[in-house]
A and B are shown apart, each in its own frame.
Chain A
Amino acid sequence: MELLVKNGFVYDPLNKVDGEIMDIQVRDGRIVGRVSSSAEVIDASGMIVMPGGVDLHSHIAGSKVNVGRLLRPEDHYWDVVPKTPLTRSGVGHSVPSTFTTGYRYAEMGYTTVFEPATPPLKTFHTHEELNDIPVVDKACFPLFGNNWVVMEKLRDGKLNECAAYVAWMLKVSKGYAIKIVNPGGIEAWGWGKNLTHMDDEVPNFGVTPREIIRGLCKVNQVLGLPHPIHVHPINIGTPGNYRTTLETMRCVEDLAKDGKPCIHITHVQFLAYGGVDWLSISSHADDIAAYVNNHSHVTVDMGQVIFGDTTTMTADGPFQYRLYQITHNKWVNADVEAETGAGIVPITYVRKNYVHAVMWAIGLELALLVKDPWKVYLTTDHPNGGPFTEYPRVISWLMSNKVRQRIVKKIPRLARVRSNIKDIDREMTFSEIAVISRAATAKALGLKDKGHLGVGADADISIYRINPKTIDPSSQYREIRRAFRRAAYTIKDGEVVARDGKVVKTPTGRTYWVDPQIPQDQMARTVSELKDRFEDLYTVRFANYGVSEVLLPRSTPIPAQSTL
């Protein structure tokens, strides 16, 4: 099967192509140098051609997301998706059903989406849902930051054993990266408590958040994983938390090697607050951005807030309880034995609300103040800041100071004073948008065949009905939003899967997972030790734990070479 995408303005930052008119050739799902004359032709003249979107942090699947769906029938009623001869029915808005999730990503030109938090004990559930998310490629990040075995090994200084355990866990859960959420704080939440300092000791475990982050950062390097530790630090959503965020980034500064990132701080908008309470909250995006600008070992993603109704959900149980206390909305808590927790609270971000307006500003400030777009990625921490379907809106905000300032005029005066957004006039280019939404995210995830259109890459391509020569994104932000909302074409593995924002084909995407290669005797020791104490940790048997590869329809393991 061959495809020729002709005459589009191509934005392929990884290959340093910046809006040149080029043809892209596809054969058998991959980008190739040339195709035969019988190739199907897509005339992309007057349109933008980019690699398919790659989202590295979006809560789309798993037990927590599903309880979010269960919690919010009122969120589904007004956004319904009927069945068609091709597509399944479903519901949308802030926590869409699985089929709808896949379609809506594809309709926006996204082809790869990673679920960033799964409790290993329930990761089979996550994969079952990922299996039901059509079109896109996907993966999930198991949670390690409050795992009992991890904390014990790090306390005892047994780094290699910890690494072997993490390797085993990634293998059995079919996970992709090490996710850390509120390290140690969720274990403390097992007793209704939380940790607020990097050097607080986790009750009963004798380790600190700092030691957990550093330890897992080292484990990550030892295992040679493709993505650095993916960290949601302590004190999220708390005024004054920019200090712990900086401390979190600093705490692994010395571990960086070869100038490569060794930590990803996620949804950093929720982590850049100054002030001492909600009345004095202010933006410290500038401090965070300055640190990121001056260091090569850290990357971040935005976690942009969208005004409107959405559902917050994180593994951070104590944070979600605090959010309940603030909002008095309905609250879900879901602790997971020996591993982690989760919480869910619906929220409505209101433009006229001073705190929400500051949050809105911070997300944009971070994206715009971090000079190198390869270090800051487009996310809303779906659905925490807002649903992923609002990405086009965020793109329009990043590309147009005009629309930003229009909104700035409508937010409370105090929010204007306590943020920097009014003074930032940077407007991102199409190339920069391509970086933050596909090229850099694919690179950060270590997906070598994604995020670019060079020969050999997966033929995941999105084409948008925008002529960069004639449009002025600064004033025509509505057109930008519209065009990114409905891709003219979304091509997945060389096949057109969506046309003009409508799904036309529903292939099954890959499930990526990392298969760390560690010495067999080390793995055998880990397994035997775990088997011996498994009953002490869990209420399920060792044999019934984990995810069998045969249950993943397009299992795509990525070997990682460890130095164990």
Chain B
Amino acid sequence: MEVGRERIYSAAELDAHEGALIEALRASSQQPVTDPDEWLQKELQRNVLVTSVDAVLNWSRRSSLWPVICFPACCAFEFIGASASRFDMSRFGMDILRGSPRQADLLITAGTLTWKMAPQVRRLYDQMAEPKWVIAMGACGITGGIFRDSYSVVPGYNRIVPVDVYVPGCPPRPEALLNGIEMLRQKINARSISTEGE
């Protein structure tokens, strides 16, 4: 069964295509995306009564945050550590790690993002169904951390995707990640469907 892969795809074409994607994204992401939490401040000020529908929705959403698998680097092991027995993220209903972005609610950016990886992460984020949240985990996720000066590293995930919660650390200890998740849960709790989509 002699089948050359040339018949199916051309390696050179694939590489060129990927390279073009990366360069385009790189050119368009020179500025950070604004953090999607302007409403949070407003909400707290307006002190809108959270309706019972909101209450149920927010409860269900914050109680069942399914993270998508996005484990580029070091922080992945603290993320896994947080979901392993010692810290057991599943207590918060986060034990279902979805490989498919369609079913996930939460993108935890566990690791350094390189420009080569950036289109994939952007695509992963785009594929996630609303409502979706992003936690920037670790120094690399926030600002690029120790690799900020590198030629191939994206200085922070918020160049590519809007980030909801930043968890500092390198890598953050599982407790810190859990705290970040707790912060996200509080943030979700302040949502209202009447303002959704704004």
A associates with B: no
| Chain B residues at the A interface, C-beta cutoff of 8 Å | none
| Chain A residues at the B interface, C-beta cutoff of 8 Å | none
